[in-house]
Amino acid sequence: AQTVTQSQPEMSVQEAETVTLSCTYDTSESDYYLFWYKQPPSRQMILVIRQEAYKQQNATENRFSVNFQKAAKSFSLKISDSQLGDAAMYFCAYPGTYKYIFGTGTRLKVLA
Amino acid sequence: GAVVSQHPSRVICKSGTSVKIECRSLDFQATTMFWYRQFPKKSLMLMATSNEGSKATYEQGVEKDKFLINHASLTLSTLTVTSAHPEDSSFYICSATSGLAGGNEQFFGPGTRLTVL
């Protein structure tokens, strides 16, 4: 069965510091995507970053990068130079054949 | 591009009435639309998947007769909560995919907060 696990219900980071959110998943597929979504207090889901499994290079989007380890089925999100606007719920998602499999989310607090 | 809208953003209704929520893809044709429900501080819970012109596929435990989904066109899906009760109060989110984006990326609407009195 396809599963996504986020083991950190809540994380805190000092402004301008770096934080890493963890995500592990399980699938028998060899070619797939993985996504990180951000849900700020407005509750609009925003795609932060995506990774294609066949690409060995880790995806980066400005201050956001991932550490993708396919063999370990790990897909962590690193946020550098954290800003107050980064405070949100973060969801890891695996797009299954017919539907997304979401993790339970990590609430990120950014401390001024 | 890839914008999804939802209407209304907030709705308050009396117990026993029905409420309709619209989800529109504004700049692309959505082959598939999804309806989620989200409780406070929880993840998104998929309620149903709908394809244009066909019946929706409901997740286990979701009452088909209570949550009516219609996907009449490639840009519009509606969720009707029939005979709403206070326990139906929640945040409802729709998403859509064109099937063209990598990984069948879903584009999310801003959500609708339903309060049933």
DSSP B5: E
| Nearest chain A Cα distance for residue B111, angstroms | 7
Q: How far is CA A32 from the centre of its chain?
A: 15
What is the domain range of residue A57? 3-111
Q: What is the pLDDT of residue B101?
A: 67
Instruction: Answer yes or no: is pLDDT of A62 > 90.
Output: yes
User: How far is the C-alpha of B79 from the C-alpha of A74, rounded, in Å?
Assistant: 35
Q: What is the pLDDT of residue A98?
A: 82
Q: What is the CATH number of the domain that holds A75?
A: 2.60.40.10
Instruction: Answer yes or no: is pLDDT of A51 > 80.
Output: yes
Count of structural domains within chain A: 1
Instruction: Please say whether the dihedral angle defined by the alpha carbons of residues B59, B13, B21 and B93, taken in this order, is positive or negative.
Output: negative
Instruction: Please say whether the dihedral angle defined by the alpha carbons of residues B26, B28, B29 and B30, taken in this order, is positive or negative.
Output: negative
End-to-end distance of chain A based on CA atoms, in angstroms? 41
Residues of A in contact with B110 (CB under 8 A): 42-44
Interface A–B counts its CB contacts (< 8 A) at: 50
Radius of gyration, alpha carbons of chain B: 13
- Structure confidence by residue, pLDDT tens digits, B48-105: 999 888 889 999 999 999 999 998 899 999 999 999 999 999 999 999 998 776 677 8
Short-list B84, B79, B80, CA closest to B94: B79
- Structure confidence by residue, pLDDT tens digits, B7-64: 999 999 999 999 999 999 999 999 899 999 999 989 999 999 998 888 899 999 999 9
Between residues B103 and A70, the one the model is more confident about: A70
